[in-house]
Structure formats: structure tokens, C-alpha cells
Structure 1
Amino acid sequence: MYVSHLTLHDFRSYASADVALEPGVTAFIGRNGQGKTNLVEAIDYLSRLASHRVASDTPLVRAGADQAVIRAAVVRDGRTAVLEIELNPGKSNRARINRSPLPRSRELIGLVRTVVFSPEDLTLVKGDPSDRRRFLDDLLVLRTPRLAGVRSDYDRVLRQRNSLLKTSRMSKGSLETLGVWDAHLARTGAELLAERLALVEGLRPYVGKAYETVARGATRDDADIEYKPSFDLAGRTERDDLTEALLAEVERRRGDELDRGLSLVGPHRDELLLRLGELPVKGYASHGESWSFALALRLASYDLLRADGDDPILILDDVFAELDTERRAQLADLVAGAEQVLVTAAVAADVPAALAGTRYTVGNGEVVREQ
């Protein structure tokens, strides 16, 4: 799988841009603030319908414009499809495949798969639990696009339920309504929880292998991940069992939730634990170890997606500037064989020799291929 052409209209800093791409490595070189990351961000957005840099669509639309358009020709198994998303902040986005409108924009998810390495990856290790939950859910949706609907349903149920819990004095009718939302929370939460548990078990061996590769002197037994739910599951992993368990725990915590006006049980309270040996990575790992673990999580994601039968597009967004020479070379060697690798860097010297390929200079609103 690779992108053969990218077209942008009013996306980020670009009034318009047309970039021809090829399999193999393509590097975008330019000073900070010139728009090189905007190009790869657009491709990643088509993959997940979300940016790895910002939480909403509004910053993605060029100042002064009402909407933005991302269009990409994607080649898979020798066949080309043109994917398009029209971003309309404050309104519904619109998606098309080969110019034909889709009923829902989220039907684009998973048609092109990306794995992004970026300086923000340190938040996977040092950030809040929500950053690690988002990492899991993004990977879940890439592997199984229908889970985008489950994720959206759970978020909607959670908002409705929290709104009820914030009511200072609940009437009998309000409590009955809360019971309905309890059932919705248990049902959608159990499905999301079951999928996360299975994902972590599938991802775990890849994390150990990747950490061994990128960390000096490490073995694959050094790095481990574990899913920590908001309450004891007693070994339950099946969806029906988890639904019952969630509902029972919600009822048990009813008083606490009413006192705090907040849902205290469910996947939104869970954590992905990261360990080096017996110690948690957060708070104990050095800066270098933290970077190695973050890289291992991304590499593990890539390997897991490849094991599904796809070769995702790898995006290395200004990541080499954050790494020492040895880690640069290690990462470059690991990803050089991918079907398509997109690299951004401030200076050409930051791009390792193993990733020599097509290069574009980005500056003054122009993307120019080097001869």
C-alpha cells in the first residue's frame, strides 16, 4: 500500500498543493514552520480521521477559508482508489471514494493505514493515561474500522451519563433514566474493553522484540505492557461476562458517582501500564529509555498491522532530530524495507543514509522535488 499522489486545498498553510509520490522513501526537507509536517499530517488524517498534532479539525483549515480538502490516490494490490475528505469545522465532514460520496465520513477509516513516529510520542510514556488509551483505540480502529462506531457510541453514552450524574438532586425519574444509561455504558464499554484486552495481548510480544532492537543492550524480556482496568475483572475477557461485570460495578459505585457527579467505572478510566523489568517506565526510565519505549510501541504497532496482512505507510515526522546517531541508524534500518516511508526533517543531514530516496524541498508555500 502506498500513496501515489496527494492534493490539498486550504489545508493548514497550503492554499493548494499537488505532490506526486512513489513507493520507497520520500523525504520532505525544510525549516520549521515551512509546512513539511502538514503534508504527512494530511495523509495520516485520511487514515484515522484525526490529527496526531491537534485534537480538533479547526486548526487544519487554512486561516480565512471555510473548509479544507485532502485528496489522495492510494495504490493497493495494484489497484488505485482516490480517497477524499472535506473538512467542515462545526459541521459534518464529507468523504468520497473515486468521487462517490460516502454515507458517513468514518467509512474512510482503515482504507489507508499509517503508523506515525513523531516527537509527541514521548507522551505515550510520560503523558496521562488518556494518551495511552488513545494509542490503543487508534490502533484498534485501524485494524477493525467498525470499532470507530463503538468508540463513538461509548463517548456519547459517557457524556449523557455524566450529564445526568452532575444533576445535584436527582428525582426518581432521573435515577430510572440513569439506569438506562448504565445498561448502555456496560454494553458499549464491554465491547471496547474486550477489544483492548485482546489487542494488548497481541501487541505485547511485538513490544518486547522492538525494544530489544532499539535499546542498547536490552533483551525482549525487558519491556512489557499490561492492561489495567478500572476494577478487578477476575480473569473475565468475554464480552457478555464483561457487560455483567461492568453493570455490577457501576451499581456498586453508585453512591460515589452521585457524590462526584462523574462516571468512575469503564474503559475511560483504564490504564495501559508500561514496564521495564519490574519498574514502571513513567517516573523511573531515563530520557533515552523513554524514547526507546515510545519507538518500540510504534514499531510494535507497525509489526502487528503487517501481521494482519497489510504494509502500513510509515511516517517519520521530525523524529530523527530527537535521536542520537546510533538510534537514528537503528530506526532507519528497521523501517527502510517498508513499502512507503515518508520522512520530514529540518536539514537533510538528519536523514540517515539508509533512507536515501526521493527528496522534496519545502519552503515559501512550495514543495519542489530535488533533481
Structure 2
Amino acid sequence: MILNNIKLENFTNYDSVQCNLDECINIFIGDNGQGKSNLLDSIYYVATENSARNNKDRDLILWGRDYFKISASFLNKFGSNNIEISYDKKKKDGKKSLFLNHYEIEKLKDYIGYFSAVFFSPEDLYIVKGDPILRRKYMDDELIQTENKYFIYINQYKKILEQRNSLLKEAYRRQNLLNSMDVWEEQLSKYGTVILKSRIDMVHHLKNMAGEIHNYLTDGEETLDVIYKSKLPISLLETGQLASFQSLYFNQLKESRMKDLEKGYTLIGPHRDDLNLMINGTSARKFGSQGQQRTAALSLKIAEVKLIKSKKGEYPILLLDDVLSELDKKRKNKLFLSLEKDIQTVITSTDLNDIDTLIREKAKIIEIKKGTLKER
């Protein structure tokens, strides 16, 4: 997958700008606060219709304007494509429009996964040491890009979960309402099983890939293990016994009703699960150094790139936002050596000296200053 160019209008600090990209390595250089990360974020937005920095759509509009627009041309396994995404805050509830090859896409599920990108920044240490909800989001965001129906499944699960939780709050005062819980629990176990099966399979692949990458980046001094944690009997999913798992899941929801009633929410299911990252057999979150945690997170992101390739038949674009300054020289070089030649990579940096001379000679370098671009 190759992004040829991207054009921004009223996006963050950009009034109107177009950026043409090289198919291999691109370096955005400039001081902090000039717009490097915003340009990277616009590429990620094309892939997911969301900001990598979790900004709301209206917060992405240039100050004093009413809308933003992103246009991009890219090449994937289906051929050449053009996309245009715009958001207008003046329209009721905000109005987002998406056109792919000049045809309007009305449902996000019909577009997600058509263009893929993996974003990594120092803030992504949340994967290792953040709250469990952030690691669940990490898994879901990855699966939405690799499995066409996962977006539908996770949204259905959330709606059903909300219904069950609402019923629990009502049933606290009127316990006869618990008799109507079966229908929600049946649906919750149905969609929850599909979600968990997808997550388990993803973690299995990530565990192997990230383990190899982490071992390489640390010169064989560290091992990285990725473990999925759940209160449900996920060993049945690992052995392909989906029907048995769903039945046990449904029964556990019924057995947990009174505990859930006291709490006012559902205590078991994929919305309560977590990832446990282990370095040399100990918890990376509790005992890993900052450097170890950073390398573990980076290993997962590179593994994510390779996983998308294995699932979709082509590499996503890799976006590295101010990551190199956080790595020593040896790990920087190993990072680039670990990447395949046909992975289009976009890097931001405040200092070109952070990037090896051999890499700079191969790269397209674009200087960014106050929202303007200048090719070196």
C-alpha cells in the first residue's frame, strides 16, 4: 500500500497544503509545534476516520473555520484510489462525508480496512502501562482494520451490553425484570464469543511476531510474551470449541446476575479483559524500565504491521511520530533493519542527526515550519 499524496484544507494548523510522498521512506523534519504530528495524524485519519491523538472531529478544524477536508490518492492491491473526507461543524450534529473514487460511502464499515496505517508515538506506552480500557481499544482498533465484520460485531456487543447494564439498574428496584435478562445474555454471549475468538487469534499472531522482533531489537537479551487475560474459559476458544464456549459464557452471565445487580454493570466479558505483557517472565507494566516498556510497545506496533500484511496481503503505511529520539543508536538501526523494503514509512523528527546517514540518503525529506512544507 502506497500513499502518493495527501491534501489538507483547514485541518489543525494547516490552511491549505499538499504533500507528495515517496514510496519508501519519508522524513518530516522541524521544531516542535510546527505541524509534523498533525500531518501524520491526517494520514491515520484517512485510514480510520479517527485521530490517533483521540481528538474530536470538531477539534481538528483550523481555528476560525467551520470545516476541514482531507483528500488523498493511494495505491492498494485493488489499484489506484482517491478518497475525500470532510467534516462540517455547522451541519446538524456535525456532518462527516466520505467519498471513495468519487462515490459516497454512507457506512463506515464499507470503507474501514480499504486503506491501512499503523501509528506509533511515545504516548503509545499506554499499550504497556496504561489502563486496561486502552489496551482493549488497541486490540479493537487493530481488528477493525484487519477484519471487515469486526466493526459490526464490536458495535453490536456494545449496544447489547448497554441494554443489559440498563436493565440491571432498573432491576435493582424491580427484580422481576431479571426474568427478561435471558434474551440480552444470549445475544451478549453470541457477539462476545466472536469478538473473543478474533482477539485470541490476533494475540496468538502478535505474540509470535512481537516476540521475535523484541528479541532482535534487544540483541537476544530480552523475551517478550503477550498473554490475553479473561475471567471466561478462553482455552475452549484456543482449541476451536466455539459452541461449548458460548454455552458456558451464557451460563456464567446467568450465574453472575446477582453480583452484577449489586454493582449495576456486567462484570464478565471482553469489555473487562486485558493484555498482560511480560518481559523475561515479569510484568512489563509493573517492573519494566521506561526503555523496556518503549521497546515492548514498538515491538507490538511493528508486529501489527506484519499482521496486517498477513491478513490483507499488503503492508500498511507505518507512521513513526518522534520515536527515534527515544531510542539509542543501536536500536534505531535495528528498527530500520527490521522493516521490509516495501513498507512505506513516514517519520517525524526534530533533528536529522537522530537518523542514520544511510537512511537519510534514501529518504524524501520535507521540512515543516508553521504549517508550510519545503522539500529538501
TM range, normalised to the smaller chain?
over 0.9
Residue equivalent to 2:309: 306
1:227 maps to 228
8 Å CA contact 1:3–1:72 kept in 2: the answer is: yes
Please show how residues 94-109 of structure 1 align to structure 2 within 5 Å.
94-109=97-112
Residue number in structure 2 paired with 1:365: 371
Comparing 100-109 with 81-90, which one deviates more in the overlay?
Answer: 81-90
Structure 1 vs Structure 2: percent identity of aligned residues?
A: 29
What is the distance in 1 between the residues matched to 2:173 and 2:10?
A: 48
1:187: how far off?
Answer: 1.5
Conserved 8 A contact 1:27-1:342: yes
TM-score w.r.t. the length of structure 1 is 0.92
Q: Which of 118, 129, 132 in structure 1 is aligned with 2:135?
A: 132
**Alignment check: 8 A CA contact 1:44 1:51 kept:** yes
The match for 2:209 is: 206
Q: Deviations over 1:83-110 (max 9, x none)?
A: 2222356445221111210121332211
SS in 1 for 2:170: coil
Distance in 1 between residues matched to 2:325 and 2:136, nearest whole Å: 27
| 1:279-358 correspondence to structure 2 within 5 Å | 279-308=282-311, 309-335=313-339, 337-356=341-360, 357-358=363-364
Structure 2 contact 236–245 (Cα < 8 Å) conserved: no
**Paired residues of 1:46 and 1:109 also in contact (CA < 8 A):** no
Q: CA deviation at 1:326?
A: 1.7
Whether the aligned pair in 2 keeps the contact of 1:94 and 1:105 (CA below 8 Å) is: no
Match status 1:110 vs 2:118: no
Q: Which amino acid aligns with 2:282?
A: L
SS across alignment from 1:282: helix
Contact 1:84 1:97 in 2 (8 A): yes
126-135 or 84-93, larger mean C-alpha shift: 84-93
Deviates more, 1:172-181 or 1:8-17: 172-181
| Displacement after TM superposition at 1:313 (Å) | 0.8
Q: Does the Cα contact within 8 Å between 2:321 and 2:347 map onto a contact in 1?
A: yes
Q: What one-letter code is carried by the residue in structure 1 that aligns with 2:356?
A: P
> For 1:132-151, what per-residue CA distance to the aligned partner results, in whole angstroms no more than 9, with x for missing partners?
21221122121112211111
SS at match of 1:167: helix
Name the aligned partner's letter for residue 353 of structure 2.
A
2:138 is aligned with what amino acid?
F
Question: Cα deviation per residue 1:296-332 (whole Å; 9 max; x = unaligned)?
Answer: 1111111222233212111111111111222222112
Structure 2 length normalisation: TM-score? Answer: 0.91
1:152-167 counterparts in 2 under 5 A? 152-167=155-170
SS at match of 1:332: helix
- Find the counterpart in structure 2 of residue 80 from structure 1: 80
Q: Match for 1:229: what amino acid? A: S
CA shift in 2, pair 1:24/1:136, >3 Å:
same
Partner of 2:192: 189
Which deviations, in whole Å up to 9, do the C-alpha atoms of 1:106-156 show, x marking residues without a partner? 322111111222111211111111222122112212111221111122222
Q: CA RMSD in A?
A: 2.0
| Aligned counterpart, 2:69 | 69
Distance (Å, rounded) in 1 between the aligned partners of 2:69 and 2:109 = 15
Amino acid at match of 1:317: D
Give unpaired runs (5+ residues) of structure 2: none
2:245 equivalent to 1:242 = yes
Q: What is the distance in 1 between the residues matched to 2:229 and 2:358?
A: 39
Separation in 1, partners of 2:243, 2:80: 41
Structure 1 unaligned segments of length 5 or more: list them: none
1:200 match: secondary structure = helix
Moved more, 247-256 or 345-354: 345-354
